[in-house]
Structure 1
Amino acid sequence: MRAALVVNKVVSDVSENMRNIIAYINKAADNNADLVMFSETALTGFSMTDNPKEDIKLGIPIPGEEIEKLCREAKKRNINLAIGVLEEDNGSLYDSAVFINRNGTIGLKYRRVSKGWRDPNKNNSIYMEGTEVLSYESDIGKICFLICGDMNNDTLITKAKALKADILLFPFARSFYGGTVTHER
């Protein structure tokens, strides 16, 4: 298996991020990669303010327009794709990752279980976490996700090990809890 790991510059404009991500998908496919993997929140950015009314605007639905575009690109280029996004679902915001297979189908959606992606001291009613560690049998092997701080949780690591996955996908991003949050930073 040949993998391309991409750390793209993320800006506040999702359309610009999408253009750059598609360019990287094409470059990975041109170099015969079986998988192209992006970081946590690579499409949407991670510049949350802990203001629920503002932060919910950062999320995208899964499935939704942006993810469907990535599905079409994965199918067109015959490549597996793993990417992190802030997901909006029924008024809640999740730190999520998706695995899209070569057929352009979402094989796995994972929601970060650990709470370190948001300020735990605030009563932020929209910020939610997942509850399960799941796996997916892909053409490159059985895969599962853990996102960022999930890797610091022994229970989640044990659950991931129990799945006996061939590949653990671990997207993460730098966050600035307690500090000024800007795209430049």
Structure 2
Amino acid sequence: MSLPAAAWRERVEFERRLVHAGGTLYPVPYLLGWLTWGETRVFLGIALAVVFALEFLRLVVGLDHAVYRALTREYEADALAGYALYQVSMTGAVLLFDPTLAIPAMWMLSVGDPVSGALADNEATEAKRPAAWIAMALVCFGLAVPFTIPAFGPNAGVVVAVAGAVPAAVADGIPPIIRGIPVDDNLTIPPAAAGGMLLAIALVG
């Protein structure tokens, strides 16, 4: 028996959030001392190449299978899927920033975004409701302080964490619209967060 449309959508969104959260594991080998940061960059680069190959097969060759059908949304049918944009921003964070900024920025996407998504009921082109904004900002702040306070001290560390959490919440809560198409927050959250923290570091020294 097929699921009602609402139940099917809820299940798909739950599965997407599980996949989303899986990216939290990317920097774990580095944190455990199993990989260097350089090796982590290589690993993420290889993963990005694999994702681009999969998207080429889907969009150009026409390869379609159950995983794509289950985990892609309608507006992703003829464009890069959210998971590919996710991989772009995750890899970009690793390549462009050091671990103190990159790891919390990555986790703001992999952990914060699913939390706010669970509290939101908006369409892709709509802003999220205040509860989702607040939850996203608080989660992102909590993810950042274990990295920023040891690196910059209590006062500056809190400022840097806030400077990452607020742009991440904005990127998550208000999707930029370009030519009528929403820019996926999978692409915007890590650079917004890391960029905000980098700016704060420059200002507070």
Q: Please tell me the TM-score bracket, short chain as reference.
A: 0.3 to 0.5
| Larger Cα-atom Rg | 2
More strand per residue? 1
Higher helix share: 2
- Given the two structures, how large is their TM-score scaled by the length of structure 2? 0.31
